Every structure is written in C-alpha cells, then in structure tokens.
Amino acid sequence: MRHTKSHTANRRSHHALKAPKTTNDVKTGGTHLRHRIDTTTGMYRGRKVLDVVAKVAKKQTKAAGKKK
C-alpha cells in the first residue's frame, strides 16, 4: 500500500535525536546523567552507593589474572 509523503513525515518526526539530560554535581562540579550514579565519585542523591576504588582494583586484578 502506498504511503503519502505527509504520512512518512509524520512518522519520522518522532525520530529526531534529543540531547541527554545532564546534571551538575554540587560538590565536585562534574556532570552526570540524571537518575544515574556519578561514575567518578560513586555518589547518588548525596549517598555513597558505589566504591569506585574497589571496582577499579577488582578490574585490574581480573585483567592481570587473564594475562597469566
């Protein structure tokens, strides 16, 4: 079935890309995505939820184990 140009344009009007919403962290001044953990500090809504140092150390030991 044939689609008119206006029908195609109406469908494609929803395909536009939008910039992601970011938030500036008050303490560090860095930016992060809304409703996501700040990956540099591990903080979310003023609480420490992720130990970034431990995660990096675990990743390094895992990589060192694979090399052997």
> For residues 8-28, b (16+ Cβ closer than 10 Å) or e, as one string?
eeeeeeeeeeeeeeeeeeeee
Find the mean pLDDT for residues 6-23.
90
Non-local (6+) Cβ contacts of 25 within 8 A are 31, 32, 38, 41, 43
For residue 45, what are the domain limits?
Answer: 5-67
Please say if the pLDDT value at position 58 is more than 80: yes
pLDDT digits (tens, 9 = 90+) for 16-54: 889 999 988 888 888 889 999 888 888 888 889 989 899
Global pTM value: 0.52
Alpha-carbon span 66 to 50, nearest angstrom: 25
User: In the chain, how many domains are there?
Assistant: 1
Please say if the pLDDT value at position 4 is more than 90: yes
